[in-house]
Amino acid sequence: MTRDGATADGGTPLGLPWSTGVVRGTDGAVRVAGVDVRDLAATHGTPAYVLDEADLRARARAYRSAFETACAQVGTGVDVYYAGKALLTRAVARWVHAEGLRVDTASGGELAVALAAGVPGAHLGLHGNNKSEDELRTALDTGVGRIIVDSLVEVDRLADLVRAHRGDGGAPAPVMVRVTTGVHAGGHEFISTAHEDQKFGLSLAAVPGGDSPALTALLRVVARPELRLLGIHSHIGSQILDPSGFAVAAQRVLALRAELHARTGVLVDEVDLGGGYGIAYLPGEVPLDPDRIAKEVAQAVADACRDLGQPLPRLSIEPGRAIVGPAGLTLYTVGTVKPVRLEDGRVRTYVSVDGGMSDNIRPALYGAHYHAEVVSRTSDAAPVLARVVGKHCESGDVVVHEVRLPGDVRAGDLLAVAATGAYGRSMSSNYNLLTRPPVVAVTAGESRVLVRRETVDDLLALDVAAD
């Protein structure tokens, strides 16, 4: 890259919210990690999820090194778990593991993919507020390094399973207890998992005349010899752009750790502060900076431990979106363009693409905003106010609420939506029996399919009774 930001062949990196490998060439077409989007569309079809491998790996490294450096400075260590719910394929699991991350799973399916990728059980965590006995048994069988228990019922369920499974002589199962700290952070109520009035974790809030549910669960784990209490877990929300909540949650978790120590003499070794690091979805948005957040969190933990007179725990974090979100884009083909006159006289150009809410439910579910550009060419036409919509039978089937697109946007143009790597594919559906797009990786001028496109035959294969 030259000093003004242009690449050696004169291309211009588009910058955030696009991945670092997204460059508009001098011919007007966009390349991802050196591959022209027109070639991607010709080879893999559209819609397609496109992942910039180098960008994804660099984000994994950035989080790991930021937290390792900041934690070393205050005198402790850290493990970074990639939250597989954001997007999990075998290749993605291998990439993040090769970058020194572990993997956090939240179901038997995610666990199976991570194991199939070769990630050792000891480097996996298993989450879930309602894990099945099968899921718990698989975790025990495959030596999952931490099972994060989410209710009192589950503490006993897991301990009983260990007893039935391994007998009295077996090794205890490694357990963390997920607590809710009362810190509410993140972009949307549905994704703010530390509210008190929600299904996750055990509250730190004291119950009149008794211990908090969180302390009760910790005491129960300590009392069950089939379980080994590794630590305390807290996840405060998602798409967090204001880092202050992490420090407050850390202080509350550490106070709970001190209380457990005082009551039982048990000092847990680890504190997991979850994920939730926010990214840029729109031009001009500023993502959380890993170095800054790592320093703030490590310092908050160190200060709280000093004030409590406690030794530092080992830390862990679980970023998902911040690793994979910006590394992904979705490539669509424009099908129809329709000007619609609004009440106030303005005209909105509805641009329909060949996917929609089945490949990205986030705009419909959370009112999430995205950025899009025509990527197969440039245009001198004056921009128009556009809404990018999908092909589903629903007026809420919006891909991008509002974006300025060239006034001559037309059928056959390729349109890319930025920062769709997290919670796009992983929350996709077959609504209207659309087939799910492939996940295509692009690495140093080469593209390859990680997950193939679904076919109508796949749909029919599941539909087993004709009458």
| Residues labelled catalytic | 393
Find out whether 163 and 227 touch, Cβ atoms under 8 Å.
Answer: no
Collapse the DSSP code of 72 into the 3-class scheme (helix H, G, I; strand E, B; otherwise coil) and give the result. Answer: helix
187 is in an annotated binding site: no
| Minimum CB–partner distance for residue 166 and ligand LLP (Å) | 27
How much of the chain is in helix, strand and coil states, percent to nearest 5?
35, 25, 45
| Minimum CB–partner distance for residue 459 and ligand LLP (Å) | 24
**Alpha-helix residue ranges (DSSP H) falling in 265-326:** 290-308, 321-324
Interaction of residue 127 with ligand LLP, rule CB under 6 A = yes
10 is in an annotated binding site: no
Q: Residue 60 and residue 37: Cα distance in Å, rounded?
A: 25
Interaction of residue 213 with ligand LLP, rule CB under 6 A = no
| Minimum CB–partner distance for residue 17 and ligand LLP (Å) | 15
Spell 445-464 as b/e; 16+ CB within 10 A means b. eebeebbebbeeeeeeeeee
Distance from the Cα of residue 235 to its chain's centroid? 13
Do the strands 372-374 and 414-418 form a parallel or antiparallel pair, or are they unpaired? antiparallel
In the structure encoding, which two tokens stand for residue 128, read together?
């879930």
Find out whether 86 and 321 touch, Cβ atoms under 8 Å.
Answer: yes
By rule CB under 6 A, what count of residues binds ligand LLP? 23
Q: Residue 308 and residue 71: Cα distance in Å, rounded?
A: 18
Ranges within 361-420 binding ligand LLP (CB under 6 A): 362
Ranges within 170-189 binding ligand LLP (CB under 6 A): none
Ranges within 302-321 binding ligand LLP (CB under 6 A): 318-321
Q: Cβ closer to ligand LLP: 241 or 427? A: 427
* Residue 75: other Cβ atoms inside 10 A: 11
Ranges within 216-255 binding ligand LLP (CB under 6 A): 235, 238-239
| Minimum CB–partner distance for residue 41 and ligand LLP (Å) | 26
Q: Cβ closer to ligand LLP: 318 or 354? A: 318
Interaction of residue 37 with ligand LLP, rule CB under 6 A = no
Ranges within 418-447 binding ligand LLP (CB under 6 A): 422-423, 427
Q: Cβ closer to ligand LLP: 213 or 319? A: 319
453 is in an annotated binding site: no
Please give the backbone phi and psi of residue 4, each rounded to the nearest 5 degrees, phi first: -85, 10
410 is in an annotated binding site: no
Q: Cβ closer to ligand LLP: 179 or 375? A: 179
Q: Residue 88 and residue 94: Cα distance in Å, rounded?
A: 10
**In this chain, which of 19, 20, 180, 193 binds ligand LLP, going by CB under 6 A?**
193
Interaction of residue 86 with ligand LLP, rule CB under 6 A = yes
| Minimum CB–partner distance for residue 287 and ligand LLP (Å) | 12
213 is in an annotated binding site: no
| Minimum CB–partner distance for residue 219 and ligand LLP (Å) | 22
List residues bridging with 32 in a β-sheet. Answer: 22, 35
366 is in an annotated binding site: yes
CA distances to 94, 187, 246 from 242, rounded to whole Å, are: 31, 10, 9
Rounded to the nearest 10 degrees, the angle between the axes of helix 290-308 and helix 244-264 is: 30
**In this chain, which of 274, 313, 356, 421 binds ligand LLP, going by CB under 6 A?**
274
Stretch that binds ligand LLP, among 156-164, 269-277, 384-392, 457-465 (CB under 6 A): 269-277
Interaction of residue 83 with ligand LLP, rule CB under 6 A = yes
Interaction of residue 276 with ligand LLP, rule CB under 6 A = yes
With 0-12 CB in 10 A as exposed, 13-18 as middle and 19+ as buried, what is 160?
A: middle
Q: Cβ closer to ligand LLP: 378 or 426? A: 426
Q: Residue 138 and residue 157: Cα distance in Å, rounded?
A: 14
362 is in an annotated binding site: yes
Q: Cβ closer to ligand LLP: 21 or 128? A: 128
Residue 240 is classified by DSSP as B
314 is in an annotated binding site: no
Q: Residue 435 and residue 355: Cα distance in Å, rounded?
A: 9
Q: Cβ closer to ligand LLP: 21 or 276? A: 276
The single-letter code of the amino acid at 161 is: L
Q: Cβ closer to ligand LLP: 178 or 391? A: 178
Rounded to the nearest 10 degrees, the angle between the axes of helix 244-264 and helix 213-223 is: 50
Interaction of residue 146 with ligand LLP, rule CB under 6 A = no
Please give the backbone phi and psi of residue 343, each rounded to the nearest 5 degrees, phi first: -50, -40
Pick from 140, 169, 178, 203: nearest CA to 271: 178
Pick from 106, 52, 22: nearest CA to 450: 52
Stretch that binds ligand LLP, among 7-15, 78-86, 152-160, 241-249 (CB under 6 A): 78-86
100 is in an annotated binding site: no
Q: Rule CB under 6 A: which residues touch ligand LLP? A: 83, 85-86, 104, 127, 191, 193, 235, 238-239, 274-277, 318-322, 362, 422-423, 427
Q: Binding site for substrate: what residues are annotated? A: 321, 362, 366, 394, 423
Q: Which residues are annotated as a binding site for pyridoxal 5'-phosphate?
A: 276, 318-321, 423
Annotated binding site: 276, 318-321, 362, 366, 394, 423
